[in-house]
């Protein structure tokens, strides 16, 4: 998969760790910045990841800011972007498996590099199970989320 990765200045120190984790998981990262620790605005980078997903340039995305919260809020304003803040491995894979999450948000000031690597690996190895026999309830629930989005 191609994975769009972006960060703000607070997330910049962790971006190299995330890019490496994407490569180690066998995927191709698309580095959308930021390219330094100079102050920038996280909504601009959330939009870059969202546009990459909307256009099909990337299948999933990873956003990194100080807490992960702002990037998550901004990304979720975009149609077709389903971002979740995950600071644990379980949420990172379960969000994909049950909820069809396509953007992982991380807080560089909250978690360390080793946990970030594990979370990224869990996110990238997961797949949506809603179309598997006996798991249709997940597809039904995701369809309801899509309907909410359509009524915005």
What is the distance between the alpha carbons of residues 94 and 129, in angstroms, rounded to a whole number?
10
93 catalytically annotated: no
Cα gap 96→3, rounded to integer Å: 14
- What's the Cα-to-Cα distance from 79 to each of 64, 91, 96, 126, rounded to whole Å? 20, 22, 17, 22
84 is catalytic: no
Q: Which residues contact 147 (CB under 8 A, 6 or more apart)?
A: none
Say which of 7, 65, 72, 86 is annotated catalytic.
Answer: 65
Active site residue ranges: 65, 98
């Amino acid at each position: 998969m191609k994975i769009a990765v972006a960060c703000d200045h607070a997330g910049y120190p962790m971006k190299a760790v995330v890019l490496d984790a994407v490569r180690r998981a066998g995927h191709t990262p698309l580095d959308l910045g930021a390219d330094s620790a100079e102050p920038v605005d996280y909504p601009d980078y959330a939009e870059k990841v969202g546009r990459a997903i909307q256009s099909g340039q990337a299948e999933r995305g990873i956003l990194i800011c100080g807490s992960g919260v702002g990037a998550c809020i901004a990304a979720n304003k975009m149609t077709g972007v389903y971002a979740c803040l995950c600071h644990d491995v379980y949420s990172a894979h379960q969000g994909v498996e049950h909820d069809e999450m396509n953007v992982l948000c991380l807080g560089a000031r909250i978690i360390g590099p080793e946990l970030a690597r594990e979370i990224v690996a869990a996110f990238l190895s997961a797949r949506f199970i809603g179309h598997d026999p006996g798991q249709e309830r997940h597809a039904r629930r995701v369809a309801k989320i899509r309907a909410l989005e359509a009524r915005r």
